[in-house]
């Protein structure tokens, strides 16, 4: 693809069963009823000049450029706001129209700088194009009158400039912020000639305003007013490649726009089915880490972690590593070796790492970071529904009438989905939030949750059981659905259990701290759509559940997932658009890494390793015998390392030292191993304990696929050569070959062919098909040849939906006199996971350090002021960080993020974990918070160790 703008049809697509036929400039056009004349003209190959219209926004009708003549209609109506009508005859070009349009354009240009040749939007400017289209040749008014040409540029945002001197006040930025992003940070200040675009309150600039830097306004701007700084610095891109974002599980499609191998900007792709043309600050702007000076580009080895690193050739590194691995295997057996696949790498790369572990190392000791995030989702949904994934696509939210968000903070964690959700909420859908914190969704401009259940951390199951109690005892269950789709006997067992008085909201209020009446109303709203619903036209409202790590990262994570699944079945909210159970996945390819067999007990496609037939299919294809016994999980690998029975690990793209709980334990486990291989972009925290460092490649440097939270498989395309010389799948292949395995993939498409051959749910997936169709949602096979946007449509994958009784079991992590507060952890919009990528971008301007949120009451009791240093201590460890005093958290609850290694929030978190999957209980730690005046001993000793451990030996000059 060369560089040209993505087609713009002026106004949004309209869906209608009725088709309307009209004539535009003699051409016949047939479009859905409700389509604008402007869009109809564009769809039949025409182009009506316009400035304030773009197809991501509702028609506005302000610029007066898109006027047309309609036979039989008076005057010159604006084509963007005029819907088509059957038999309408439209003329878009005439002498009269040309005169009027030129007159309008003349006014615009009379207050616009004439610096086109030196303007950064030169040749990429809709104002310039439109001036050309209308044939403007002269401005009769001159340029000496009052104007805005001297207005200063606001360069406060690190990624884009706002230059009001070039603004034509078309309101596209304001409307993008309202309609697309839903933050409403921008407005038009003043009236008439004094109208200007303004961010936030008077006195705010873009950075200090509520602007979240999603880039929607920049994408919408038709001039150079809002433009990426990179375009100003580098120039107009010359080519573009469509690819998939490597940040969160939303999986936005972007167009990488480049000059040669230099990335200029990432622009959201309107045809991306996950993001529909929207983006967030991470995917759109925070890609500077890809060429950060900290990136390691040469392989390095060292005998011991006390030594400095030594740069070596790829050949030496791989031979050394393979020799060590084979030696450990010979001495200690295959089960002493293992690996961790990366949820940031492609499906193809994950496939090869688990294949290397199973067929090369000879064990099933393979795990992935889903262990610490969504492993309970896999367990819970497979037990109840029969498949380890969410039930819907993201589009589904636009059909939801009631949305229940539990343990998720979409505006920060999954911002592009949150914008869709907020759009639906503004249209009138009802919202229930279950979260210990008052997240932004609870109340933000034009959004207010009907109910916020600010529960005590760790009581999810109690809250959901109480909701089930209300639904069952008040007769709100959808028994027709249950009889048809679920096992009726199991339902009755479950209904009897939840109906017991001890599960009533009144009885559980003491535990959950959620007022019983609020809980009852929330349950009724979820089940019935609320009291207003009866008067609505449809019989049954669509209620959808969206959840995140606030559900899974608990000692009852799996139980909570099953309780959610029960609730959706009991109310018949499965199997159609607008409903479902939707896990919001953390990392870009966490769904894919789970699909690809990254768990120690199952082969790709979620098939248990003990299944002889499945094992045989892999053994035949790979030509090796596989261990039929499940392997170790990350946490038990570390236990076994301390024990001496686990000795070597290959970690691809995962920083377990920073991301996993109880940092001391992780460090001790890694230290106990003979061989730690880290394959990553940077010397991450885990690398401080590594013996081999294999440099990795970024998502811009490789071809493969990611699978997002809606099971959507999308292409990641190489836009530049790997700076380290090899794509990550090639590194794994070379390691396998050095160990003696005869792998010979010549491109990653061949790996996908193997995935499709051996994994029934991927049978119909290939790179060629993805290139042709954009994306596919698994399962893609004979039964679902075009994929599966919504699952369990005609019945559950497992057959009958299974109700599983879950009961609240309190966590063993208890508050007490020494540790009276509960710490819960989360993330923030501008940073991602352990921050390895985002900390190496200008995103630090929004979040330079992790802060501890504490309620004013708890702060006052302890003499803690805003911004003060505090010591955060648990039974496991302690750290220091700065406090921020806020009533977002309830009294007794404190909150922080884990994006910065200097804070190391996980020094404090415990090893309590989900009973079924060992997903760590990050969300509940008993802590004490006290004023402090400096870093803890651990922080100081770790900082000095970290510096020492990252030394790279300097080659002596010859």
Partner 1 sequence: MDPARLTYMANQIARNLAPQGEAAAVDLTCQHLRDFWDPRMKAAILAGDRLGLDPIARAAVERLALPTS
Nearer to partner 1, 91 or 601 (CB): 601
399 vs 500 by CB, closer to partner 1: 500
Choose one: 120-128, 234-242, 314-322, 624-632; the region binding partner 1 (CB under 8 A). 624-632
Taking the CA atoms of residue 212, residue 214, residue 217 and residue 220 in that order, the dihedral angle to the nearest 10 degrees is -170
Beta bridge partners of 187: 198
Rounded distance, CA 462 to CA 498, Å? 10
915 binds partner 1 (CB under 8 A): yes
Concatenated DSSP letters for 400-464? -SEEEEES--HHHHSHHHHHHHHHHHHTT-EEEEE-SB--GGGEETTEE-SEEE-PPTT-HHHHH
- Indicate if the alpha-carbon torsion angle 197, 203, 209, 215 is positive or negative: positive
Query: Does position 189 bind partner 1 by CB under 8 A?
Result: no
CA–CA dist 426, 179 (Å, integer): 9
Does 809 help bind partner 1 (rule: CB under 8 A)?
Answer: yes
Q: How far is the CB of 333 from partner 1 (least distance, A)?
A: 10
Check binding of 200 to partner 1 (CB under 8 A).
Answer: no
Quote the tokens at residue 551: 């559900």
3-class secondary structure, 605 = coil
Residues 558 to 617 in contact with partner 1, rule: CB under 8 A: 558-559, 600-601, 608, 610
DSSP 231-261: HHHH-S--EEEEEE-SSBTT--EEEEEEETT
Nearer to partner 1 by Cβ, of 804 and 902: the residue is: 804
Q: CB under 8 A: which stretch of 649-657, 758-766, 803-811, 944-952 binds partner 1?
A: 803-811
Question: Cβ closer to partner 1: 270 or 923?
Answer: 923
Largest CA distance in the chain: 91
Q: Is 869 in the site for partner 1 (CB under 8 A)?
A: no
Residue 213: which residues within 8 A CB-CB, separation 6 or more?
157, 159, 160, 206, 281, 285, 830, 846
Sheet of strand 648-652, all strands in order from the earlier edge strand to the far edge? 310-311, 300-301, 692-695, 675-680, 648-652, 337-341, 366-368
Q: Return the number of the residue (586 or 600) whose C-beta is nearest partner 1.
A: 600
Please report how close the Cβ of residue 913 comes to partner 1 at its closest, in angstroms: 9
- The C-alpha atoms of residue 84 and residue 759 are separated, in whole angstroms, by 48
For the chain, the helix, strand and coil percentages under 3-state DSSP, each to the nearest 5: 35, 20, 45
**Which one of the spans 26-34, 552-560, 857-865, 878-886 is the region binding partner 1 (CB under 8 A)?**
552-560
Q: Which of 130, 347, 409, 556 touches partner 1 (CB under 8 A)?
A: 556
C-beta of 99 vs 664, nearer to partner 1: 664
- Of these, 269, 287, 497, 706, which contacts partner 1 (CB under 8 A)? 497
**807: contact with partner 1 by CB under 8 A:** yes
Among 213, 368, 542, 636, binds partner 1 (CB under 8 A): 636
- Per-residue binding letters, 313-342, with partner 1 (x by CB under 8 A): ----------------------x-------
Q: Which stretch binds partner 1 (CB under 8 A): 3-11, 110-118, 449-457, 555-563?
A: 555-563
- 341's enclosing H/E stretch is strand 337-341
Among 574, 916, 919, 924, binds partner 1 (CB under 8 A): 916
Task: Point out which span in 91-99, 132-140, 393-401, 625-633 binds partner 1 (CB under 8 A).
Answer: 625-633
Work out how close the CB of 502 gets to partner 1 at its nearest, in angstroms, rounded to a whole number.
12
- Residue of the chain from 8, 205, 210, 639 that contacts partner 1 (CB under 8 A): 639
- Tokens read off for 28: 């016949």
Q: Which is nearer to partner 1, 643 or 866 (CB)?
A: 643
| Peptide bond preceding 779 in cis form (omega within 30 of 0) | yes
User: C-beta of 559: minimal distance to partner 1 in Å?
Assistant: 6
Asked if 632 is part of the footprint of partner 1 (rule: CB under 8 A), the reply reads yes
Cα–Cα dist 221/230, whole Å: 16
Which residues touch 419 (CB under 8 Å, ≥6 apart)?
180, 181, 182, 214, 278
Number of residues this chain uses to bind partner 1 (CB under 8 A): 28
- Residue 920 to residue 376: CA distance in whole angstroms: 10
Of 33, 511, 770, 804, which one interacts with partner 1 (CB under 8 A)? Answer: 804
Stretch touching partner 1 by CB under 8 A, among 522-530, 618-626, 629-637, 813-821: 629-637
Q: What is the DSSP letter of 774?
A: S
Give residues in contact with partner 1 (CB under 8 A): 335, 365, 497, 555-556, 558-559, 600-601, 608, 610, 629-632, 636, 639-640, 643, 645, 804-807, 809, 915-916, 918
């Amino acid at each position: 693809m060369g560089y040209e703008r993505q087609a713009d049809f002026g106004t949004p697509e309209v869906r209608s069963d009725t088709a309307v036929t009209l004539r535009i400039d003699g051409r016949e056009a047939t479009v859905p009823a409700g389509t604008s004349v402007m869009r109809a003209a564009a769809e039949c190959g025409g182009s009506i000049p316009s400035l304030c219209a773009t197809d991501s926004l509702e028609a506005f009708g302000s610029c007066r450029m898109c006027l047309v003549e309609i036979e039989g209609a008076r005057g010159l109506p604006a084509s963007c706001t005029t819907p088509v009508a059957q038999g309408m005859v439209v003329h878009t070009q005439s002498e009269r129209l040309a005169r009027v349009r030129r007159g309008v354009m003349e006014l615009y240009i009379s207050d616009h700088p004439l610096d086109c040749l030196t303007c950064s939007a030169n040749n990429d400017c809709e104002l310039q194009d439109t001036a050309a289209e209308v044939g403007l040749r002269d401005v009769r008014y001159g340029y000496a009158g009052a104007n805005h040409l001297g207005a200063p540029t606001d360069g406060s945002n690190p990624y884009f400039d706002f230059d009001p001197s070039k603004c034509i006040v078309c309101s596209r930025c304001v409307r993008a912020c309202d309609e697309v992003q839903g933050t409403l940070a921008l407005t038009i200040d003043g009236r008439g000639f004094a109208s200007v675009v303004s961010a936030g309150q008077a006195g705010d600039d873009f950075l200090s305003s509520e602007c979240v830097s999603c880039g929607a306004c920049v994408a919408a701007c038709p001039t150079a007013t809002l433009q990426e700084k990179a375009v100003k610095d580098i120039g107009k891109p010359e080519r573009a490649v469509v690819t998939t974002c490597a940040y969160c599980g939303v999986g936005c499609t972007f167009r990488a726009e480049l000059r040669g191998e230099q990335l200029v900007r990432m622009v959201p792709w309107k045809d991306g089915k996950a993001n529909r043309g929207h983006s967030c600050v991470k995917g759109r702007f925070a890609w500077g880490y890809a060429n950060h000076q900290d990136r390691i580009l040469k392989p390095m080895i060292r005998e011991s972690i006390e030594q400095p690193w030594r740069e070596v050739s790829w050949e030496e590194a791989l031979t050394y590593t393979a020799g060590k691995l084979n030696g450990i295997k010979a001495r200690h057996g295959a089960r002493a070796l293992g690996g961790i696949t990366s949820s940031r790498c492609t499906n193809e790369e994950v496939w090869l790492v688990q294949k290397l572990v199973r067929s090369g190392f000879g064990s099933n000791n393979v795990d992935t970071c889903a262990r610490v995030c969504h492993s309970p989702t896999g367990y819970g949904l497979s037990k109840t529904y029969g498949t380890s994934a969410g039930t819907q696509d993201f589009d589904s939210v636009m059909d939801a009438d009631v949305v229940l968000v539990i343990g998720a903070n979409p505006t920060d964690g999954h911002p592009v989905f949150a914008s869709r959700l907020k759009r639906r909420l503004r249209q009138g859908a009802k919202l229930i939030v279950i979260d210990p914190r008052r997240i932004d969704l609870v109340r933000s401009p034009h959004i207010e949750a009907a109910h916020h259940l600010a529960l005590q951390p760790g009581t999810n199951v109690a809250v959901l059981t109480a909701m089930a109690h209300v639904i069952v005892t008040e007769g709100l269950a959808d028994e027709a659905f249950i009889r048809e789709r679920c096992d009726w006997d199991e339902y009755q067992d479950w209904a009897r259990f939840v109906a017991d008085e001890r599960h009533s909201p009144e009885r559980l209020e003491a535990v959950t701290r959620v007022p019983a009446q609020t809980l009852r109303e929330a349950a009724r709203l979820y089940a019935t759509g609320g009291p207003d619903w009866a008067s609505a036209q449809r019989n049954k409202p669509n209620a959808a559940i969206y959840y995140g790590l606030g559900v899974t990262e608990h000692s009852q994570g799996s139980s909570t997932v099953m309780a959610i699944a029960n609730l959706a079945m009991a109310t018949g909210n499965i199997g159609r658009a607008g409903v479902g159970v939707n896990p919001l996945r953390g990392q870009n390819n966490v769904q894919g890494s789970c699909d690809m067999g990254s768990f120690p007990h199952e082969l790709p496609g979620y098939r248990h390793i003990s299944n002889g037939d499945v094992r045989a299919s892999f053994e035949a294809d790979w030509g090796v015998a596989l261990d039929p016994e499940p392997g170790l999980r990350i946490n038990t690998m570390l236990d076994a390392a301390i024990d001496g029975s686990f000795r070597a690990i290959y970690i691809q793209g995962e920083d377990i030292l920073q991301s996993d709980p109880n940092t001391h334990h992780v460090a001790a486990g890694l230290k106990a191993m003979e061989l730690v291989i880290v394959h990553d972009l940077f010397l991450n925290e885990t690398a401080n304990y590594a013996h081999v460092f294999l440099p990795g490649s970024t998502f811009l440097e490789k071809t493969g696929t990611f699978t997002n939270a809606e099971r959507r498989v999308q292409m990641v395309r190489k836009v530049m050569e790997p700076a380290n010389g090899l794509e990550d799948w090639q590194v794994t292949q070379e390691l396998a070959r050095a160990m003696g395995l005869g792998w010979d993939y010549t491109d990653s498409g061949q790996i996908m062919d193997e995935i499709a051959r051996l994994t029934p749910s991927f049978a119909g997936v290939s790179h060629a098909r993805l290139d042709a169709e954009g994306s596919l949602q698994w399962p893609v096979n004979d039964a679902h040849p075009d994929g599966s946007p919504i699952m369990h449509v005609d019945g559950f994958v497992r057959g009958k939906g299974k109700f599983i009784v879950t009961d609240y079991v309190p966590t063993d992590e208890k508050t007490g006199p020494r540790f009276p507060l509960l710490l819960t952890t989360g993330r923030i919009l501008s940073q991602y996971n352990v921050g390895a990528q985002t900390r190496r971008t200008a995103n630090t301007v929004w979040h330079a350090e992790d802060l501890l949120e504490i309620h004013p009451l708890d702060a006052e009791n302890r003499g803690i002021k805003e911004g003060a240093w505090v010591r955060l201590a648990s039974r496991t460890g302690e750290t220091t960080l700065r406090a921020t005093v806020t009533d977002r958290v309830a009294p007794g609850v404190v909150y922080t993020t884990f994006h910065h290694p200097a804070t190391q929030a996980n020094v404090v978190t415990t090893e309590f974990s989900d009973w079924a999957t060992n997903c760590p209980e990050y969300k509940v730690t008993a802590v004490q918070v006290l004023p402090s005046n400096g870093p803890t001993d651990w922080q100081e000793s770790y900082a000095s160790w970290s510096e020492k451990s990252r030394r790279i030996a300097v080659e002596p000059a010859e």
